[in-house]
Structure 1
Amino acid sequence: MAIAFAGAAFAEPQHGIAMYGDPALPPDFVSLPYANPDAPTGGRIVFGETGGFDSLNPHILKGRAPWGVRAHVFESLMGRNYDEPFTLYGLLAESVETGPDRDWVEFSLRPEAKFSDGSPVTVEDVIWTFETLGTQGHPRFHSSWQKVDSIAATGPRSVRITFNQPDRELALIMGLRPIFQKAQWEGLDFAESSMIAPIATGPYVVAEAEPGRKLVLKRNPDYWGKDLPFNAGRHNLDEIRYDFFADGGVMFEAFKAGVINSYREGDAARWEDGYDWPAVTSGAIVKSEIPHQRPTGISGLVFNTRSEVFADWRVREALLHAFNYEFIAQTQTGGRDPRIPSYFGNSVLAMQDGPAEGRVRELLEPFATDLLPGALDGYALPVGDGSARNRKNIRAAAALLEEAGWEPVDGVLMKDGEPFTFEIVMRQGEADFQAIVNIYVQALERLGITPVVTTIDSAQFRERTNAYDFDMAFYTRGLSLSPGNEQMLYWGSRGVTEPGSRNWMGMNSPAAEAMIETMLNATSREDFIAATRALDRVLTTGRYVIPLWYSDRSRIAHAAELRFPEELPIYGDWIGWQPDVWWWQE
């Protein structure tokens, strides 16, 4: 990468940048629309987390770092407005400018931007950060860095990044890179897991960090950006604390006991029937439902197609039929929440019912011979009768398995002299998932399939999934209204062999990659939506995940003193909302 002084730019600096069109907020905006600029400061919020951590660097592959460090200690050149699909406004950078084709982007640093130790943020810090993350950071940074031709200082407070291939999202991605202090890492191995508290620019600093027990973040009273309009009504709480627990059941009891004061409830049945203890009935604990318009994402049991047993799509389709969703959902949640229909369900980006039409079909047809059944003609998940036996779907599963070459021999499903068996890897402390798997195992045994369920701790689970050393595991991937380069990390073919990607299923789909490329280079919102809907079809009909349920709202129980603005962002309870715009009021 070149580091030099580039020539002068001939573009107009802007206060923000949008993926399509212009930013919604004017240069003189007072605050983000979902923040309360008059919110008081003080108080604290206490979250519960399962598992633990052994690192304070969330931007490398090694180690397990708590989410709170990434979200509240680090900052980027620009920040997101979560009331727009994908628009950034100046944070560490006071302005941004791009070439007409977005083949380069230039950021100008604010002169007042400082690290938590009071030292100024320099262009040198920015350049070092970009190079280091791109070469030694987590693999999620690598693919976009490979699209960078050069990074160059254009002045004492400005830096330009030039790209080597078309990708309209790159300008925004570069604006979201966390910025490190170069001096802190001199003589240290950046890629090694470490409990060194980072010196960063965010509103909070690490006050306490005990692996496996707690993380305490304190609001920095000298935070450089506290008077920015972008930050008005944000970062109001004096303390953000995360307590860690062995499993979800213990964590919920800690909430009931008052150890935690904010709890996201994932069980719709318990939300309705299980909140009857005195703190709730007295009003000390408030139940808030936060609607959203973001995609469902995907959550469920993922097939690792690197395993020979799951390489055949008919086997995956058979096991989708064998998963008695209606019965399981009724047993676990009372069937209160709907099933995830597709990866981008519940949003404008979702695949439409029936055959592919118009621009979506036009995008997919060149790959028709490689697409699985349903991608062009229409597809829906198997539906059971709700009974425990699920007879119709079990018969359909047996027929698909026979078609794929599996035959029952004395009650055992066999192929080429080998029984059908595979390993389901579970993380300790996930009792709800364990109950789901128990029901599923019983159904599979009726087909002559004998799964082996292995329960391991969080560290082992991370190591094995990073190395794709599993047959089936629980998998969750959140998706936004602005999918982009991260989709290659999720579904790209490099993840078939490159460790640490989000492509746990091992999919290798030229059609999916082509749809992602079309999304990245779309010049209109219409083309972008068509490409995403086409990608949704490829993913869903790939039969890579047995999906569970989703909710179109978050359910948060919290101390009555914890408040939030009435106006909600389109993303709802998402990154940048809790605890970012919450406050404490006695």
Structure 2
Amino acid sequence: MRHRADEIVLAEVGGFDSLNPFILRGSAPWGVNLLTVQSLLGRSYDEPFALYGALAETVETDSARSYVDFTLRDGIRFSDGSPVTLDDVMWSFETMGLEGHPRYRNAWTKVATMEATGPRTLRLTFTEPDREMPLILGLRPIVQRAQFDVTAGGRSFADSSLQPVIGSGPYVVSRVDPGRSITFERVADWWGNDLPLFRGQYNLQEIRYEYYSDLSVAFEGFKAGVISVWREPNAARWRDSYDFPAMTDGRMQQIEIPHERPSGMSGFYFNTRRPIFADWRVRQALISAFDFEQINTTINDGAEPRITSYFGNSVLGLQPGPAEGRVAALLAPYADSLPPGAIDGYTLPVSDGRSNRRNLRAAARLLNDAGWHADAQGVLRNEQGQAFDLEILLLQGQTEIQTAAASFIGALHNLGINARVSLIDSAQYVQRTNEYNFDMTYTQRLMSLSPGNEQVLYWGSQGVTQPGSRNWAGVDQPAVDALIETMLSSQTTEDFTAAVRALDRVLMAGRYAIPFWFSPVSRLAASRTLHFPQHLPIYGDWTGFMPEVWWYQE
């Protein structure tokens, strides 16, 4: 298939049933938030803690960050041509904070007052010290209030809908094939065209996302020329599966983009709300049963390094061995409640890649110590006689994750655990994970070089019972809450780094996930008609890079 000029076509796995990404209900395409709405401030992806004015012309705050003042620019407009007003901004803040997705609510609870202090000026005063709050609120999406005015025939903000949200971003939704594809078209006279922050960005006239049932089908679509760019997650396939005609005749090219961002945590997460995972020894046993070396060889030909911490591959990651200095001081008040390894150091079990017997024996001992014993048929049971039964919930189309799960389940059966995989579609998956209705599941928690309030959403204890948080593991640890607060209130780089490293230690020692692998480079196969700047951002292939700064040129 020949693409039109100034177009890029990207592949997604799964589907969508909503175009409102700001509420808990429904599953919306990522591109809606990325392309059609704008915020008061915008990121520079070469500067982890820097934001610049977008809808806001100026920002003012005090040294304590007890308040923030935003002044709107003249001439900013929504995609339908109507002006972005202070009323739209204030309504967006309050509505998303009260009715929007839970990811917006934590920040809103820290807003004591919001008031208009001039025709284009807004002041937000905070309830407590949080140096990130002006940045967080500056990045809140701003949408048009009138479209949600039910008294004038508008729709309810809380309702899932396939009607596009009216925002002030550089693109609008132009075509939708529900659940199958969505196309965005560039706004010709976009108000931000000449703003220095956006110069060189949003060069493509159309951006289309095609949805596929699984990665293998999507890859075939790329080989056939339906997809413009392919992000290759598998190192082995990158080496040996790119000899198809479009690549060998030069229409496509392979590109490796290095990055310096943290590894994040990709793997099987335990839902510790489930009684079977309440004991850290059980979680450690299952971590030991997972033969990473063998699975990595099968899937990646052994080429990818293992994730060893949530902020690994960066200066923010935990340091090996016992905690020292400021990190040790931060952990000391919680020493009695911390799991083994948080203070004295924690490392993942390693196999020789051929046999995992030593780790399986260690796993069996841990399960026995935790009260799980094999009956005459070899089935693990607790003191109440209940069998150890667990479900690994996976999204359809995750072929490599299914391969990892199959190997893992074999090891669990050897331990007497009845484990199974359940494959479900994206709509069911969103619903079940929002309600924490799973035993184990695969997910990724991506980390930046400027971690902040999103850590509350990922690990904060309020997410144990609050539906829709990202605390899928059910982390309920006083040290985690305290370290996140310390991180948010730190005023020096040294204190901030120590708080993140201490948090990293507690999360790793908590055994909340079975870590998979990560790649220090991104692998992109792309049409030779698509180009990007020679200077690469510190985050590499990340938000703000593709498709934002790419352009079409024959």
Q: Secondary structure at the match of 2:141?
A: coil
Residue 555 of structure 1 aligns with which residue? 523
Q: Distance in 2 between matches of 1:235 and 1:427?
A: 31
Q: CA-to-partner distance for each residue in 1:22-63, whole Å, 9 max, x for gaps?
A: xxxxxxxxxxxxxxxxxxx96111001111111111111000
Q: Distance in 2 between matches of 1:196 and 1:428?
A: 26
- Given candidates 309, 331, 335, the residue that maps to 2:276 is 309
- Given candidates 280, 287, 292, the residue that maps to 1:320 is 287
TM-score for both structures, normalised by structure 2: 0.97
Mapped pair 1:422 → 2:395:
no
Residue 85 of structure 1 contacts residue 481 of structure 1 at CA under 8 Å; is this kept in 2?
yes
Which amino acid in the other structure matches residue 465 of structure 2?
T
Gaps of 5+ in 2: none
Q: CA-to-partner distance for each residue in 1:184-243, whole Å, 9 max, x for gaps?
A: 110022111111111110000000112111100001101111011111100000000000
Q: CA-to-partner distance for each residue in 1:349-370, whole Å, 9 max, x for gaps?
A: 0000000000000000000001
Q: Distance in 2 between matches of 1:173 and 1:455?
A: 35
Q: Distance in 2 between matches of 1:418 and 1:115?
A: 58
- Given candidates 18, 28, 31, the residue that maps to 1:55 is 18
- Given candidates 511, 526, 539, the residue that maps to 1:543 is 511
Q: Secondary structure at the match of 2:117?
A: strand
Q: Distance in 2 between matches of 1:150 and 1:524?
A: 28
Residue 229 of structure 2 aligns with which residue? 262
Q: Distance in 2 between matches of 1:286 and 1:72?
A: 26
Residue 197 of structure 1 aligns with which residue? 164
Q: Distance in 2 between matches of 1:297 and 1:87?
A: 21
Q: Distance in 2 between matches of 1:109 and 1:452?
A: 54
Which amino acid in the other structure matches residue 544 of structure 2?
G
Q: Number of residues paired by the alignment?
A: 545
Q: Distance in 2 between matches of 1:278 and 1:475?
A: 34
Equivalent runs, 1:66-215 vs 2, <5 Å: 66-187=29-150, 188-215=155-182
Which amino acid in the other structure matches residue 450 of structure 1?
N
Q: CA deviation at 1:432?
A: 1.1
Residue 241 of structure 1 aligns with which residue? 208
Q: Distance in 2 between matches of 1:414 and 1:462?
A: 31
Gaps of 5+ in 1: 1-40
Residue 18 of structure 1 aligns with which residue? none
Residue 11 of structure 1 aligns with which residue? none
Q: Secondary structure at the match of 1:71?
A: helix
Q: CA-to-partner distance for each residue in 1:68-101, whole Å, 9 max, x for gaps?
A: 0100101100100000112100011111110221
Q: Distance in 1 between matches of 2:497 and 2:63?
A: 22
Q: Distance in 2 between matches of 1:166 and 1:65?
A: 33
Q: CA-to-partner distance for each residue in 1:345-388, whole Å, 9 max, x for gaps?
A: 0001000000000000000000000111111001111111111x
- Given candidates 373, 385, 408, the residue that maps to 1:407 is 373
Which amino acid in the other structure matches residue 329 of structure 2?
E
Which amino acid in the other structure matches residue 336 of structure 2?
T
Q: CA-to-partner distance for each residue in 1:495-543, whole Å, 9 max, x for gaps?
A: 1111101000111011011110011000111100000000000111100
Q: Secondary structure at the match of 2:547?
A: coil
Residue 42 of structure 1 contacts residue 583 of structure 1 at CA under 8 Å; is this kept in 2?
no
Which amino acid in the other structure matches residue 257 of structure 2?
I
Mapped pair 1:495 → 2:463:
yes
Q: Displaced runs of 4+ in structure 1, greater than 3 A?
A: none
Aligned CA RMSD, in angstroms, stands at: 1.0
Residue 295 of structure 1 aligns with which residue? 262
Q: Distance in 2 between matches of 1:549 and 1:245?
A: 24
Q: CA deviation at 1:261?
A: 0.7
Which amino acid in the other structure matches residue 400 of structure 1?
L
Residue 44 of structure 1 contacts residue 238 of structure 1 at CA under 8 Å; is this kept in 2?
yes
Mapped pair 1:43 → 2:6:
yes
Mapped pair 1:276 → 2:243:
yes
Q: Distance in 2 between matches of 1:522 and 1:51?
A: 40
Q: Secondary structure at the match of 2:39?
A: coil
Mapped pair 1:516 → 2:484:
yes
Mapped pair 1:384 → 2:347:
no
Mapped pair 1:367 → 2:330:
no
Q: Distance in 2 between matches of 1:394 and 1:87?
A: 47
Residue 519 of structure 1 contacts residue 532 of structure 1 at CA under 8 Å; is this kept in 2?
yes
Identity %: 57
Q: CA deviation at 1:271?
A: 0.4
Which amino acid in the other structure matches residue 85 of structure 2?
T
Q: CA deviation at 1:429?
A: 1.2
Q: Distance in 1 between matches of 2:256 and 2:398?
A: 24
Residue 218 of structure 2 aligns with which residue? 251
Q: Secondary structure at the match of 1:101?
A: coil
Q: CA deviation at 1:119?
A: 1.0
Which amino acid in the other structure matches residue 532 of structure 1?
V
Which amino acid in the other structure matches residue 48 of structure 2?
P
Q: Secondary structure at the match of 2:115?
A: strand
Mapped pair 1:331 → 2:302:
no
Q: CA deviation at 1:452?
A: 2.4
Residue 228 of structure 1 aligns with which residue? 195
Q: CA deviation at 1:413?
A: 1.3
Q: Distance in 2 between matches of 1:351 and 1:430?
A: 30
Which amino acid in the other structure matches residue 131 of structure 2?
R
Q: Distance in 1 between matches of 2:24 and 2:33?
A: 14
Which amino acid in the other structure matches residue 363 of structure 2?
A
Q: Secondary structure at the match of 2:381?
A: strand
Which amino acid in the other structure matches residue 357 of structure 2?
R
TM-score for both structures, normalised by structure 1: 0.92
Residue 363 of structure 2 aligns with which residue? 397
Residue 422 of structure 1 contacts residue 450 of structure 1 at CA under 8 Å; is this kept in 2?
yes
Q: CA deviation at 1:162?
A: 0.7
Q: Secondary structure at the match of 1:419?
A: coil
Q: Distance in 1 between matches of 2:327 and 2:183?
A: 48
Q: Distance in 1 between matches of 2:408 and 2:199?
A: 49
Q: Secondary structure at the match of 1:364?
A: helix
Q: Secondary structure at the match of 1:106?
A: strand
**Deviates further, 404-413 or 549-558:** 404-413
Q: Secondary structure at the match of 1:94?
A: strand
